[in-house]
Structure 1
Amino acid sequence: MDINDLRSVVTVVSMLAFLGIIVWAWSRSNRSAFDEAAKLPFAEEQGAEGASRGGNQQ
């Protein structure tokens, strides 16, 4: 087994890992969790606006 065989094995394993991640990301069972995570940056928390401005805003 020379270095080129090792490179071929690593390439195939990497491609299979990539395809596995694609299948996992696009599976229907994960859709609700990903939709919820996508909305997190837009969620407002109670009191977060006042705390980011220094706290004692009236």
Structure 2
Amino acid sequence: MGAIDLNTLRSAVTLLSLLVFLGIVVWAYARRNRERFEDLGALPLMDEPATPEGARHE
């Protein structure tokens, strides 16, 4: 058994990267994550919570 050819190693890393990317895409668009991601996406648009009377707001 000889050493792994550099092009074979590059091909393996490229294939692994593609599989990881596709896994992330499938996870991100899965129906079970939709509601949570929509809630998190709306978070920056929500109003700040009201502060109690007399409390300092910094």
Q: Under a length normalisation based on structure 1, what TM-score does the superposition of the two structures give?
A: 0.77
User: CA RMSD for the aligned pairs?
Assistant: 1.3
State whether structure 2 residue 11 is matched by structure 1 residue 11. Answer: no
- Give the unaligned 5+ runs of structure 1: 53-58
Q: What is the CA–CA distance in structure 2 between the aligned matches of 1:14 and 1:6, rounded to whole Å? A: 12
More helix by share: 1
- Give the unaligned 5+ runs of structure 2: none
SS at match of 1:17: helix
Instruction: Give CA deviations for 1:12-49 in whole Å, capped at 9, x if unaligned.
Output: 000000000000000000000000001100111223xx
Q: What is the CA–CA distance in structure 2 between the aligned matches of 1:34 and 1:7, rounded to whole Å? A: 34
**How many pairs does the alignment contain?**
50
Percent identical among aligned pairs is: 44
Q: What is the CA–CA distance in structure 1 between the aligned matches of 2:57 and 2:9, rounded to whole Å? A: 55
- Describe how 1:1-58 pairs up with structure 2 within 5 A: 1-44=4-47, 45-47=49-51, 51=57
